């Protein structure tokens, strides 16, 4: 086969060791290194001494990241590849053989690298993903608080929309304090809730025990702590995304996309769209479109893998997005989305609407298409009983059987 890289190396990365195989014109060299910083620096020096310029490694969990960071600073051309795409022969798998197999595939140009953003984008991505985790944790704590109120037969969420809002916090503080008069507490509501004063008093009348007051106090403290951490992360993300204010402003113009969602989209895909040949490649990389998994013997659902963190909540769970239709051959990605959210809602995302004109983008097809879950075509849906037309008689006779499913016979 044609040799693309004369001098290259393949790395089999583990938690505590890295097996390196360097393929050179004069032969092959193998060495094993540790994963401490000074040991990875020795790996970089060894590769430099062999005049290796291109290095490939598997994307094994998070263990590839420290190796990638050290070699990136050393100036190597790095390829992080999906382990599923480079499976070797079963039964002949060792660390050394894996490194040799990676180096051999790299030498002949048979590896397809994964998309790895720049260091600045990776740092921003870690911040936005952690902020998303805290936001989801806050939502879970609010749900636990509502569960405690429901257990005490306090129907506060039936009267006000936000239990932890301004009015809700005032009511909850009175509940935690101890003895209270429901009518007196309801009278502290602001002007907008005064017309529901009687209903509020009825909703606040319950059987709140001492242990439930303790739980409410702990949950409110935890929610306050999470809100402080989220605010601190907002400031840090805003400071780091200052160079991309123009792109965030363009993304913010999309209906249903706010500032946080725009920052998450920017952190996930960056501003250079030339790395994606078309809008379909972008949707496939973000795992927001279904795949094809059908055969004559089975009808497996075309459910995509878990969406990239930050993409699903930002693009397809945006408030105000129109609902998508479900078909027999297309199922929108709902994995990882909060239950009850608009997880089936596609959000239109075009390059012209998102990014400034100075940004390098791909073909014009990307600016005219939308990033919505695609549907499979030319696939016959599973057969179902035909619905009788209006001219047919409305009466139908069902003949049940112990061994066969019921049959419906429509009389013409």
pLDDT digits (tens, 9 = 90+) for 32-41: 999 999 999 9
The pLDDT of residue 244 is 87
pLDDT band at residue 195 using 50, 70 and 90 as cut-offs: confident
Which pLDDT belongs to residue 357? 41
Strands 8-13 and 27-34: unpaired
- pLDDT value of position 88: 66
pLDDT value of position 261: 92
What are the strands of the beta sheet with 17-24, ordered from one edge?
27-34, 17-24, 8-13, 54-58, 77-81
Q: Say which range, 135-149, 183-197, 269-283, 335-349, has the weakest mean pLDDT.
A: 335-349
Confidence of residue 306 (pLDDT cuts 50, 70, 90): low
**Backbone φ and ψ of 375, nearest 5°:** -115, 145
Rounded CA separation 78/114 (Å)? 10
The CATH class of the 8-107 domain is: alpha beta
Q: Quick one: pLDDT band at residue 305, thresholds 50, 70, 90?
A: low
Q: What is the pLDDT of residues 115-136, one digit of tens each?
A: 888 888 899 999 999 999 999 9
Query: Between the ranges 54-68, 303-317, 328-342, where is the mean pLDDT highest?
Result: 54-68
Q: In whole angstroms, give the CA distance from residue 32 to residue 43.
A: 9
Highest averaged pLDDT of the listed ranges 216-220, 369-373, 383-387: 216-220
- The three-class DSSP label of residue 20 is strand
Strands 27-34 and 17-24: antiparallel
Phi–psi pair at 20, nearest 5 degrees: -110, 135
Percent residues over pLDDT 70 in the chain: 69
CA 272, CA 282: separation in Å to the nearest integer?
Answer: 12
Tell me if 314 sits within 8 A of 343, measured CB to CB.
no
Question: Which residues contact residue 236 at a Cβ distance below 8 angstroms, ignoring those fewer than 6 apart?
Answer: 127
Position 94 pLDDT exceeds 60 = yes
The average pLDDT across 63-87 equals 90
User: Does the pLDDT at position 4 exceed 80?
Assistant: yes
Residue extents of the structural domains in the chain: 8-107, 120-240, 244-292+301-368
Residue 203 burial by Cβ neighbours in a 10 Å radius (0-12, 13-18, 19+): buried
The residues that bridge with 8 in the sheet, in sequence order, are 23, 54
pLDDT at 30 over 90: yes
User: What local confidence, expressed as pLDDT, does residue 126 receive?
Assistant: 94
User: What is the rounded average pLDDT of the residues 108-120?
Assistant: 88
Query: Does residue 208 have a pLDDT over 60?
Result: yes
Average pLDDT value over all residues in the chain: 76
> What is the pLDDT at residue 81?
92
* Tokens 């944790």 belong to residue: 137
Q: DSSP string spanning 39-63? A: HHHHHHHHHHHTT--EEEEE--TTT
12: left (phi over 0), alpha (psi -120 to 50) or beta: beta
DSSP-assigned states of every residue in 62-106: TTHHHHHHHHHHHT-EEEEE-GGGG---TT---HHHHHHHHHHHH
pLDDT at 115: 85
DSSP state of 316: I
Q: Nearest 5°: CA angle at 54, between 53 and 60?
A: 140
Query: 298 or 289: which carries more pLDDT confidence?
Result: 289
Percent of residues in the chain assigned helix, strand, coil, to nearest 5: 45, 10, 45
The pLDDT value recorded for residue 363 is 36
pLDDT of 348 above 80? no
Report, as an integer, the average pLDDT of 216-223. 95
| The pLDDT value given to residue 368 | 35
Give me the mean pLDDT over the 234-241 stretch.
94
| 3-state secondary structure (DSSP) of residue 396 | strand
What b/e sequence results for 138-174 when a residue is b if at least 16 CB atoms lie within 10 Å of its CB, and e otherwise? beebbebbbebbeebebbbbebbeebbeebbeebbeb
In terms of pLDDT, which residue wins out, 67 or 185? Answer: 67
| Dihedral, CA of residue 46, residue 51, residue 52 and residue 53, to nearest 10 | 120
Mean pLDDT across 188-199: 80
pLDDT at 129: 95
How many whole angstroms separate alpha carbon 408 and alpha carbon 386?
10
Q: What is the pLDDT of residue 204?
A: 87
Reply yes or no on whether the pLDDT at 233 is more than 90: yes
Worst-scoring range by mean pLDDT, 89-98, 235-244, 302-311?
302-311
């Amino acid at each position: 086969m044609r040799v693309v890289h004369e001098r290259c190396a393949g790395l089999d990365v583990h938690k505590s060791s890295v097996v390196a195989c360097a393929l050179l014109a004069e032969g092959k060299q193998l060495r094993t290194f540790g994963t401490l910083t000074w040991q990875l620096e020795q790996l970089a020096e060894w590769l430099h001494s062999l005049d290796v310029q291109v290095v490939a490694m598997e994307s094994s969990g998070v263990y590839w990241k420290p190796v990638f960071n050290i070699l990136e600073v050393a100036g190597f051309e790095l390829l992080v590849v999906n382990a599923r795409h480079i499976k070797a022969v079963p039964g002949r798998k060792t660390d050394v053989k894996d490194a040799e197999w990676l180096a051999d595939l790299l030498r002949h140009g048979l590896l397809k690298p994964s998309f790895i953003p720049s260091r600045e984008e990776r740092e921003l991505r870690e911040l936005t993903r952690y902020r998303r985790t805290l936001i989801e944790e806050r939502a879970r704590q609010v749900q636990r608080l509502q569960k405690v109120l429901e257990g005490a037969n306090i129907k506060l969420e039936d009267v006000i929309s936000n239990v932890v809002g301004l009015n809700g916090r005032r009511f909850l503080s009175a509940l935690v304090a101890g003895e209270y008069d429901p009518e007196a507490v309801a009278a502290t509501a602001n002007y907008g809730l005064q017309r529901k004063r009687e209903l509020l008093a009825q909703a606040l009348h319950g059987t709140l025990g001492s242990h439930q007051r303790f739980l409410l106090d702990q949950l409110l403290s935890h929610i306050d702590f999470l809100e402080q951490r989220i605010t601190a992360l907002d400031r840090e993300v805003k400071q780091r995304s200052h160079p991309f204010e123009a792109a965030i402003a363009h993304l913010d113009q999309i209906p249903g996309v706010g500032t946080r969602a725009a920052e998450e989209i920017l952190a996930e895909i960056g501003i250079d769209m030339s790395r994606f040949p078309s809008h379909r490649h972008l949707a496939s990389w973000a795992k927001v479109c279904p795949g094809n998994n059908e055969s004559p013997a089975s009808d497996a659902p075309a459910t995509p893998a878990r969406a990239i963190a930050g993409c699903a909540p930002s693009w397809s769970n945006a408030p105000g997005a129109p609902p998508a239709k479900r078909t027999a051959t297309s199922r929108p990605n709902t994995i990882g989305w909060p239950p009850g959210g608009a997880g089936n809602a596609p959000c239109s995302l075009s390059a012209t609407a998102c990014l400034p004109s100075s940004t390098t983008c791909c073909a014009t097809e990307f600016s005219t298409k939308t990033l919505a879950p695609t549907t499979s075509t030319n696939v016959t849906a599973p057969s179902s009983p035909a619905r009788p037309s209006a001219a047919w008689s409305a009466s139908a006779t069902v003949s049940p059987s112990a061994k066969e499913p019921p049959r419906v016979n429509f009389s013409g």
